[in-house]
Amino acid sequence: MTDTQQDTRTRIEIVHDESADDPVANDDGAPIIVSQGKWCDPSIHEQMRGISCAVRVDVPGSQTNRSAGAAVAYATPAHVREWYGEDTPETREKTRTSLEAFGREWRNWADGYSFGYVLTRERVCGECGTWEEVETDSCWGYITDEPSELIEWMDMPDDDARAALRDAIDNHWDGGYPVVARGVHPAEED
C-alpha cells in the first residue's frame, strides 16, 4: 500500500430506499398490474372481466406488505404491438418474459427490496490526523432481492468505488434498516 492509498479511502453505504416509487406508477408504457390486496374489491377475476389480454402472468403476493396481495400483470394486444411492432406468438412469449420480470420487480418493491448508495471519498487531515470527507455521491432506485445484482447494476465511477461496493456486498451484507452494508477501499486496518 502506498502512502497515498493510506491517506485516502473510498467508503460506500448501501441503504434501504424507503421512498422508492412504485415501478407501476413510474412507467406510462408499463404493463398493468391488478392487485388483490386489502383495497381491491371486487376480485382480480372480476376486475379483468371484459379486458382483452394478450398475455397474463400471476404475481405472488408480497411477503411483508399486507396491502400488496397477489396480483396479475397483463399486457393488452395494443401493448404487445407498441413494444414489438406486431402481435405474434413470438412477441407474446417475449412479453410473457418481460411481464414475469416486471412482476418480480413489483413484488420486490412491495417487499421493501429497494436500495440506494452513498459513496464518500475521505482523506486523512494533514494537521489533525482524522478522516475528513472530500466528496459524496449517491444514487437511488435499485429494486432487487438479490444483493449480487447490485454489483452489476450500481454503476461505480472507478475501481476504488467498485472494490468498496464488492466489499460491502460480499463481506458486510446484513439487510438491516436503514444501512444494509458498508464497504471501504482500501480496507481499514485493525
Average pLDDT over residues 49-62: 70
8 A C-beta contact, residue 116 and residue 140: yes
Sheet holding 55-59: strands in order across? Answer: 32-35, 71-75, 55-59
Residue 13's SS3 state is strand
Residue 42's SS3 state is coil
- Residue 43, judged by CB atoms within 10 A of its CB (0-12, 13-18, 19+), counts as exposed
When pLDDT is cut at 50, 70 and 90, the band that residue 19 belongs to is confident
Q: What rounded mean pLDDT belongs to the chain?
A: 80
When pLDDT is cut at 50, 70 and 90, the band that residue 58 belongs to is confident
Residue 81 has pLDDT above 80, yes or no: yes
8 A C-beta contact, residue 75 and residue 99: yes
Residue 176 has pLDDT above 80, yes or no: no
In which residue are the cell numbers 482500501 written? Answer: 186
How many Å apart are CA 113 and CA 141, to the nearest integer?
10
Residue 17's SS3 state is coil
End-to-end CA distance of the chain: 15
When pLDDT is cut at 50, 70 and 90, the band that residue 63 belongs to is low
pLDDT digits (tens, 9 = 90+) for 108-135: 888 888 999 999 999 998 889 888 988 8
Question: Which range, 4-18, 28-42, 138-152, has the best average confidence (pLDDT)?
Answer: 138-152
Q: Express as a percent the part of the chain with pLDDT over 90.
A: 31
What pLDDT score was predicted for residue 25?
67
How many Å apart are CA 12 and CA 36, to the nearest integer?
38
What residue spans define the domains of the chain? 3-18+113-185, 23-110
Looking only at the bridges linking them, the beta strands covering 179-185 and 114-124 are unpaired
How many Å apart are CA 99 and CA 58, to the nearest integer?
9
Average pLDDT over residues 89-104: 89
Q: 178 CB contacts (<8 Å, ≥6 apart)?
A: 15, 16, 18
Residue 26 has pLDDT above 90, yes or no: no
Grid cell listed for 52: 382483452
Report pTM: 0.72
Report the DSSP beta bridge partners of residue 139: 117
When pLDDT is cut at 50, 70 and 90, the band that residue 107 belongs to is confident
